[in-house]
Structure 1
Amino acid sequence: MPSADLLLTDTHIRTLDPAQPEVTALAVAGGRIVAVGDTDDLVRDWQGPGTERIDLAGAHVLPGLVDSHSHPVWGLEMATGVDLSGVVDLDGLRGALRTADRLGGWVVGWGLDHNAFEGRPIHRELIEDVLGGAPAFLRLYDGHSALVSGAALDAARITGPRSFDQRAEVVCDGEGRPTGYLVEHAAMDLVYEVAPRASDQDRRAGLVELLSTMAATGLTGAHVMDGSGLDLLAAVEEGADLPLRLTVSPWCMPGVDRAGLDELVALQKLGGRRWRVGGVKFFMDGTVEGGTAWLEHADCHGQGTDAFWPDPAAYSEAVRHLHAAGVRTATHAIGDAAVRHALDTIEALGESGRGAHRIEHIESVPDDTIPRFAALGVAASMQPPHTAYTKGDHSDEWSKRLGDARAARAWRTRDLRDAGAVLALGSDWPIAHYDARKVLAMARVPEGAAGPAQGLTGLEALEGVTSHAAIAAGQAAEGGRIAVGLRADLTVLGLDPVTAPADEVAEAPVVLTVTDGRITHRGA
Structure 2
Amino acid sequence: MSQTADLIITNARVLTMDTDHPTAEAVAVAGNRIFAVGTTSEVEALAGPATRKLDAAGATVMPGFNEAHMHIFPGSVSLRQLNLHGIQGFEALKAAILDYAEKNPDEPLLMGFSADYSIISLTEPCTRHHLDAILPDRPFMMFAPDHHTAWANTAALKKAGILKGKDVGVGNEIVMGEDGLANGELREGNAFGPVSALASTGGREELGMVTGMDPENVTAEQFALDRAILKAGLDYCASWGVTSIQNFDGNHYQLRLMRDLELSGELSCRIRIPYHMKNFMALSDLDKAASWKAEFATDMLRGDFVKVFMDGVIDSQTAYMLDGYGDRPGYTYEPLFTPEAFNAIATKADALGLQVAVHAIGSAAIRQTLDGYETALKANGKKDNRHRIEHIEVIHPDDIPRFATLGVVASMQPVHYPGGTCFPAEPTTAKIGEDRWAYSYAWRTMKNAGATVVFASDWPVSPVSPFQCIQDAVTRKPWKDGLPDERFTLQESLEAYTSIGAWVEFMEDRKGKLKQGFLADIVILNTDIEAVALDQIMETVRAAVTICDGKITYKAQEQA
Contact kept? 1:347, 1:353, Cα under 8 Å: no
Note if contact 2:186-2:192 (Cα within 8 Å) is conserved in structure 1.
yes
Which residue identity is paired with 2:84?
L
Shift in CA distance, 383/121, structure 1 to aligned 2, threshold 3 Å: same
Task: List aligned pairs for 1:372-521, cutoff 5 A.
Answer: 372-388=402-418, 396-446=426-476, 449=479, 453-498=485-530, 500-506=532-538, 507-521=540-554
- 1:33 to 1:99, Cα distance in 2 relative to 1, 3 A: closer
CA, structure 1 residues 440+132, in 2 after alignment: closer, same or farther (shift >3 Å)? same
The amino acid of 1:503's aligned partner reads: D
The separation in 2 between residues aligned to 1:437 and 1:475, in whole angstroms, is: 23
Q: Within the alignment, does 1:184 sit opposite 2:211 as a pair?
A: no
- What amino acid sits opposite 1:206 in the alignment? I
Once the two structures are aligned, what percentage of the paired residues are identical? Answer: 29
Secondary structure of 1:487 counterpart: coil
Matched, 1:40 2:41: yes
> Which stretch shifts more, 131-140 or 462-471?
131-140
Amino acid in the other structure paired with 2:115? L
Q: Give 1:241-252 correspondences, 5 Å limit.
A: 241-252=266-277
Mapping 1:158-197, distance limit 5 Å: 158-174=162-178, 176-197=180-201
Matching of residue 104 in structure 1 with residue 131 in structure 2: no
TM-score, structure 2 as length reference: 0.86
1:32 Cα deviation after fit: 1.3
Report the CA distance between 1:392 and its aligned residue: 13
TM-superposition CA deviations, 1:238-292 (whole Å, max 9, x none): 4332221112223111021033222222122343662221311111111001110
Deviates more, 1:125-134 or 1:314-323: 125-134
- Report if the CA contact (8 A) 1:34-1:484 is conserved: yes
8 Å Cα contact 1:291-1:303 kept in structure 2: no
Task: State the alpha-carbon separation in 1 of the partners of residues 508 and 445 from structure 2.
Answer: 23
Contact 2:140 2:153 in 1 (8 A): yes
Residues 1:264 and 2:321 aligned together: no
Q: Relative to 1, partners in 2 of residues 1:312 and 1:162: Cα closer, same or farther, differing over 3 Å?
A: farther
**Matched position secondary structure for 1:69:** strand
Amino acid at match of 1:237: E
Counterpart of 1:362 (choices 386, 392, 396) is 392
Aligned to 1:151: 155
- Does the alignment pair 1:284 with 2:284? no
Post-superposition Cα deviations, 1:106-145, rounded to whole Å, max 9, x if no partner, equal 3322211102132224421222122133222221211011
Assess if the C-alpha contact under 8 Å between 1:489 and 1:517 holds in 2.
Answer: yes
* 5+ residue gaps, structure 2: 203-221
In the alignment, is the contact (CA less than 8 A) between 1:12 and 1:61 conserved in 2?
A: yes
Amino acid corresponding to residue 207 of structure 1 in structure 2? L
**Following the alignment from structure 2 to structure 1, what is the Cα–Cα distance between the partners of residues 86 and 433?**
26
Residue of structure 1 in register with 2:87 after alignment? 87
Distance in 2, Cα, partners of 1:91 & 1:225: 35
Query: CA shift at 1:461, angstroms?
Result: 0.6
Tell me how far 1:393 sits from its aligned partner.
13
Unaligned 5+ runs, structure 1: none
Measure how far apart 1:452 and its partner are.
8.8
CA distance in 1, matches of 2:185, 2:383: 39
Read off the aligned partner of 1:243 and give its amino acid letter: S
Pairwise CA RMSD? 2.6
- Secondary structure at the aligned position of 1:188 is classed as helix
In 1, are the aligned partners of 2:76 and 2:234 still within 8 Å (CA)? Answer: no
TM-score norm. by structure 1 comes to 0.92
Letter in 1 for 2:292: L
Paired with 2:323 and 2:330, the residues of 1 have a C-alpha distance of: 9
The amino acid of 1:328's aligned partner reads Q
Structure 1 CA distance for aligned equivalents of residues 153 and 542 of structure 2:
43
Q: Give me the whole-angstrom Cα distance separating, in 2, the residues matched to 1:499 and 1:362.
A: 31
Aligned length: 523
Does 1:115 find its partner at 2:118? yes
